[in-house]
Every structure is written in structure tokens, then in C-alpha cells.
Structure 1
Amino acid sequence: MWGREVHSHRVLITIRTKFMARDVHINSYLIVATCGGKAKREVSLEELRDHIHQYYIPLGRQFMVLFPEGGFLHKRREISQRFAEKNNLPKLEYVSLPRAGAMKVIMEEVGPHRDQAGTSKSDDRKDNNFNQNNVKILDTKSGDNIEWILDVTIAYPERVPLHLADVVCGFRPACTTHIHYRLYPSAEVPSDPEAMTTWLYDRFIEKDKMLEEFYRTGQFPPKGNTPLVTRPVRQDNVRYFILHLFFIASTFIQYKLWCAMWSCIW
């Protein structure tokens, strides 16, 4: 890609938590969540498609983080259950049925079956804007497409998630958050849009059963005969103290600079 050999793997991370980011948020490795009305979702998906070709691929990003539920669980559960009843799907208690639009866009643009799918809505625009001078920005043979899907499920003590105030202000006592993950080859995901949606629904139905088992027994269930391996991860208080000190100092410096600029103007 862009004249250099890429050896690292690209990973799509799908996450289910009790509360989600909303709309489309972009950072160095791309966080995606789409929600809101249909028109807003369509605009968000087109922005995601453009972002993949303008930034994600050219900059050689390795991870794409996707929140396919796209909203707070307590707001989404009732809507999800009505949708499930209407479409003869299981009613989920611990998660909501995911929105598949963002995942479809990602798999169409950088998935393993992108050449066979041919369903991109912006092929002409990409040819004009992103593929100038005959530079091939995506080579599926060199590992530049999504190769793995990391499926992450998060469980909180007593089903109470960490809210923003808990994280920023430290009001809540220290607790253990359980993170369960599974790795799927991206080639397992069907290229057909309806089959892809079914595949994603199946993962969330599994998540709901896993969380039900966790909140009943305190442990995630093993899959098949594979034993469940647990590894505690402890936070480094010294590291967080240094990070907070850095942000406080940088904020103070920025405040002084703004004050100096303001005094020069006035």
C-alpha cells in the first residue's frame, strides 16, 4: 500500500457495552457508531465510507472499532425487543439487536470479499478522488483488508456500568470489569448483506446468553471443549497520576497562552 510492504494484520473490533458512544466519532484508529434517524444514519454511513478511503487506508491504520448497538441499552432495549417480535427474532435482555449498516460498509470497502461483492456505492467517486495517478491504495493480496474480527463483550459488577462521572471524578469504589473476547477470521463473515446481518445477530444472541450466564454464575461460559482462560489486568495508579498531571499542566499552559493572546488583542 502506497509503495510499502505491510506485514501487520488489520482487525475489526466489535464491542458490546452497557452504554455506547453516539453518532460517528473518528480518531487515530477510527471509532464508529451509527444511530439516530434513517436519514442521519445514511449520512453517517457515507461519511464512514469516505473516511475509510481518505484516512484509514492511506494512513495504514490497523484497527477499526465498531459499536454496532449504537445507543444506550436502557434506551435501545424496548425498541430492540419490538423489532425482534416483529421480525420473529429472540428478545434480548442484556444487549440490543445491533445495527448492521456500519459493518456492511466496512466489509464492502476493506473486507476479504470486497472484490466479489462489487456493492460499493461510491466506486466512481473513489476512482476520481482517491485513486489518482493510478496508485492502488488497497491491495487485498498484501493483507491490507480486514483479516480478523475481535468480538468483545463487557460485563459490569451487578449489571451497573461505569458512567462518565465515575470515570472522571472517581466517585465509584474500585471494581472489577470483566471483558470477554473471541477472534473470528473475517472470511467467515458472509458477503451477502442479509446473511451478514444474520451473522451479526447470531453473535449478539450469543452475547445475551453469555451475559445471562455471567450474571447468574459470575463467570462467562466456555465455548465447546475449549477451557476459559482468565487473566487479571491491574491498572497502574502511578501511570494514571502522571497522565493526569500532564493534562493538568498542559491545560494550565494553554490557559496562560490564551490569557496572553487576549491581553494583546484588548
Structure 2
Amino acid sequence: MAVSVRGLYFITTLFLGSFFGSIFMLGPVLPLMLFSPAWYRWITDRIIATWFTLPVSLLELVFGVKVVITGDGFIPGERSVIIMNHRTRLDWMFLWCCLLRYSYLRLEKICLKATLKIVPGFGWAMQVACFVFIHRRWEVDKKHLANMLDYFCDIREPLQLLLFPEGTDLTENTRAKSDVYAVQNNLPKVEYVLHPRTTGFTFIVERLRKGDNLDAVHDITVAYPKNIPQTEHHLIMGQFPREIHFHVRRYPVSSLPASSSELESWCQERWAEKEVRLRDFYSSQPRGFDRDGVALVPPCKSELRVALIKAASLLYWSSFVAFCFIGLWLWAPFRLYALVMIGVYTALHKLFGGLELVELACHRYWKSTHSDVAENQKRLDGKAQ
């Protein structure tokens, strides 16, 4: 299958935007992490959100992808855990089309494989974004998850954490493994989803609830009625989805079960519902979650505003990438700064495991320092009395 010019344009534009953005937009902000991790997080979340609009603008404006959103919708700005079926390896990126309309992209964090953080450009931006990297070994991931979630609770920055309880995308191979898991655990075999692993989900919900940093769980079902790009390779081949359908169910935190075992059962029930919902979706004509094709809750942004954001994003990032190439070509200090920043990202990953871990260490330092100061002040006040 031949490489598509459209596909190469899409992947190359995203890579160059993340690569140059990490160096020239995020790079100057990195020192702030050492002095105020909370302010660093506030600023970088908003910078990174501008890049999140780029895939949306390319998919919808350039390649004509249609987005259909039905169901409950979001309450803008609320703190939530987003759980979604993992139909393709690209669902996390396609979800930005939904969040741009119904929420704020700056709030989103993603649980994803730790190996992705080493990718130049994309991986650097993910580290700065403080995504939650996991190794799929619970004894390792549990401590890291606890540290990350406690940090988000401490700084009180609203958070929408995207989690794929299935752990991987749906393929013939992963479906066969899911069938084996179903037999071993006396569960029914499924066709349109994989059986979820509930340990991480219950831990995240309980930790955020304990830290008073959770308003709701958003259960999103994604489906592709006409073309399913399973991997990045399909995009390079030019196989973009014609339509992306999202069905949103919102569960307030007050409605969630209290115990871990009940939360596990609750998650499994949602996946059983997804199986039925997706079977109905793919067997109906025309394909859709709702025959009327409308959301019960209106988006927080009008389609005119969304169109303006997409147009501005495409114009900005095209100009920004062009400016970076011109700067590298004409100015030696520009080239030197780029080389220094590449060295910084590489060194911080080699020495500390990634920028998000450095950010956590800085937060722990300042938290400990402020705690010591408060304790000393309390001691002095006691003596004065």
C-alpha cells in the first residue's frame, strides 16, 4: 500500500508542531518548574492545549472528518475521570474533537505507556504536560499513580484524566486474549470491546475522591461507522475516518459506589453496556448511537467559535513551523538554543526519568519547605505565649 501525501502531511505537521513547540514554546517556561511547580503547570497546560487543537483542525478542516456527539455531554471545567473503549490506537487524539466542544483541552491528562515518553517532540510535550506514564506492572505503577494523583490534588488544578481500562486497542489478537481472560474469570465473551482491567480505575477514582478532586466519571463510547484507522500506519496511508461518533454518559461522583469491589463491578457493568451499545451501532442503518444524532446537553462552545478556533490553530501552527525553519536557517543563536534544549530534554530523561518526575520532585521539595516553615513558626508562637 502506497504512502499517502495527505497522511504524510498530517503526521509531519503534528510532529513538527510538537518538536518545535517543545523547544521554542515550552522550553523557556521550564525553569519556572524549579520555583513554582503549580504556576508552571498552569502555564504549560494552556500552551499544550493550543497544540491539542492542531489535530482537530487538520482532521475536520483539511480532511473533512465529521464528528457526532450524543448523550449527556460535560459540565465545562469539572474534574473528572474519563473512561473510554479503546477501538484504535488513535482514540485519545480523536477525543480532542469532542473535548474542544464540550470541555477545555487544557484539563486533559492521559494514562499511557511509558515507552512513549522517549519519542522526540511528542514524548517531550507529553512529559511537560504531566501525562501519567505507566509500565503495566501494578507494583510499579501503583506508587507512581499515587504520587501523580496526590500532586494534582495538592495544586488544585482541575483535571480530566483519560483512562483506557481495556489496556490496549481492539484487534483480533487482543480479542483472543480477552476471550481467554473471560474463560479464566467466568465472564461472557465479547465482540466489540475487551474486558476491562478494573484495578487502576478503582485506585484512581478512590484516590481523587479522597483528595476532593473529582466531580464525575465520564463514560465515553467511541465508534467509527465508515472507516477505522487502527494505527498510525493507516493515517500515513491516508486512511482517515470519515466520521467519529462519541456517546457520553456522565455519572456524578455522588452516584458512584463507595467500596473498591462495588466500583469494579460498576466498571464491568459499563463495559457490558458498551458491548450492547456498539452491537446496536454497527448493526443499524444509518449507523449511530442516537437516531436523532443530537446530544442531550449542548456544547459549551458554538460551532462558529469551534470553527474560528480550528482556523486560528491551523494558521498559527503553520506560521510557527515556517518561522522555526527560517530561524534555524538564518540565525546561529536560534540553532544553538535548539541544540541546548534537545540536550536538556535528553539529559533530564536519562538522569531523572522524565520531566514529569522532576516536576514532582520540585513540588515535594517546596511542600516540605513550606511545612518546615509552618512548623517552626508554630513552635515560635508557642514559645512567645
TM-score normalized with structure 1 length: 0.67
Residue 42 of structure 1 corresponds to which residue in structure 2? 139
* 1:87 is aligned to 2:185: yes
- Asked whether the 8 Å contact 2:224–2:241 carries over to 1, the reply is no
Decide whether aligned partners of structure 1 residues 174 and 64 sit closer, same or farther in structure 2, where only a CA change above 3 A counts. closer
**In 2: Cα distance, 1:170 partner to 1:246 partner:** 26
Residue 207 of structure 1 corresponds to which residue in structure 2? 274
Residue 73 of structure 1 corresponds to which residue in structure 2? 170
- The residue correspondences of 1:148-187 to structure 2 (distance < 5 A) are 148-158=216-226, 160-161=228-229, 163-165=231-233, 169=236, 171-172=238-239, 175-187=242-254
More off after superposition, 246-255 vs 48-57: 246-255
Once the two structures are TM-superposed, the CA of residue 204 in structure 1 deviates from its matched residue by 0.7
Once the two structures are TM-superposed, the CA of residue 205 in structure 1 deviates from its matched residue by 1.1
Residue 248 of structure 1 corresponds to which residue in structure 2? 321
* 1:107 is aligned to 2:172: no
Higher relative contact order (CA 8 A, sep 6+): 2
Decide whether aligned partners of structure 1 residues 221 and 80 sit closer, same or farther in structure 2, where only a CA change above 3 A counts. farther
Residue 129 of structure 1 corresponds to which residue in structure 2? none
Residue 82 of structure 2 corresponds to which residue in structure 1? 13
Identity across matched positions, percent: 25
Once the two structures are TM-superposed, the CA of residue 188 in structure 1 deviates from its matched residue by 2.6
- Asked whether the 8 Å contact 1:34–1:45 carries over to 2, the reply is no
Decide whether aligned partners of structure 1 residues 250 and 81 sit closer, same or farther in structure 2, where only a CA change above 3 A counts. farther
Letter in 1 for 2:179: Q
**In 2: Cα distance, 1:174 partner to 1:239 partner:** 23
- Asked whether the 8 Å contact 1:45–1:101 carries over to 2, the reply is no
Decide whether aligned partners of structure 1 residues 176 and 102 sit closer, same or farther in structure 2, where only a CA change above 3 A counts. same
* 1:96 is aligned to 2:96: no
**Aligned partner of residue 199 in structure 1, secondary structure:** helix
Counting helix residues as a fraction of each chain, which structure ranks higher?
2
Letter in 2 for 1:219: G
Decide whether aligned partners of structure 1 residues 11 and 152 sit closer, same or farther in structure 2, where only a CA change above 3 A counts. same
Give the number of equivalent residue pairs: 221
**Aligned partner of residue 157 in structure 1, secondary structure:** coil
RMSD: 3.7
TM-score normalized with structure 2 length: 0.48
Once the two structures are TM-superposed, the CA of residue 240 in structure 1 deviates from its matched residue by 4.8
**In 2: Cα distance, 1:28 partner to 1:72 partner:** 25
Letter in 1 for 2:231: H
Unmatched 5+ stretches in structure 1:
3-7, 115-137
Once the two structures are TM-superposed, the CA of residue 176 in structure 1 deviates from its matched residue by 1.1
Once the two structures are TM-superposed, the CA of residue 29 in structure 1 deviates from its matched residue by 7.3
**In 2: Cα distance, 1:101 partner to 1:159 partner:** 32
Once the two structures are TM-superposed, the CA of residue 178 in structure 1 deviates from its matched residue by 0.7
Decide whether aligned partners of structure 1 residues 250 and 154 sit closer, same or farther in structure 2, where only a CA change above 3 A counts. farther
Once the two structures are TM-superposed, the CA of residue 100 in structure 1 deviates from its matched residue by 1.4
- Asked whether the 8 Å contact 1:13–1:66 carries over to 2, the reply is yes
**In 2: Cα distance, 1:48 partner to 1:76 partner:** 25
